[in-house]
Chains A and B, each alone.
Chain A
Amino acid sequence: MDAIILQILNGLDKGGAYALIALGLTLIFGTLGVVNFAHGALFMLGAFCAVTFAKLLTISERVRDESVTFFEAYKEVPYLEIWYGDTGRAIVEWAVPLSIIMAIPVMLLIGFAMERGLIRFFYKRSHAEQILVTFGLAIVLQEIVKHFFGANPIPLTAPSALAGSADIGQWFGMTNISYPMWRIIYFLFSLLVIAAVFAFLQLTTFGMVVRAGMADRETVGLLGINIGRKFTIVFGIAAVVAGLAGVMYTPILAPNYHLGMDFLVLSFVVVVVGGMGSLGGAVVAGFLLGILQSFASMTEVKAIVPGIDQIIIYLVAVVVLLVRPRGLMGRKGVMEA
Chain B
Amino acid sequence: MKTNDVILKSVTRVAAVIILTFSIYLFMNGHHHPGGGFIGGLSMSSAIVLLYLSFGVDKVRENIRVDFKKLAAIGVLIAIGTGMAGVIFGKPFLTQTFGYYDLPIFGNTELASALIFDTGVALAVIGTAVNIILSISEDR
Whether both chains belong to one complex is answered with: no
Chain A residues within 8 Å of B, Cβ to Cβ: none
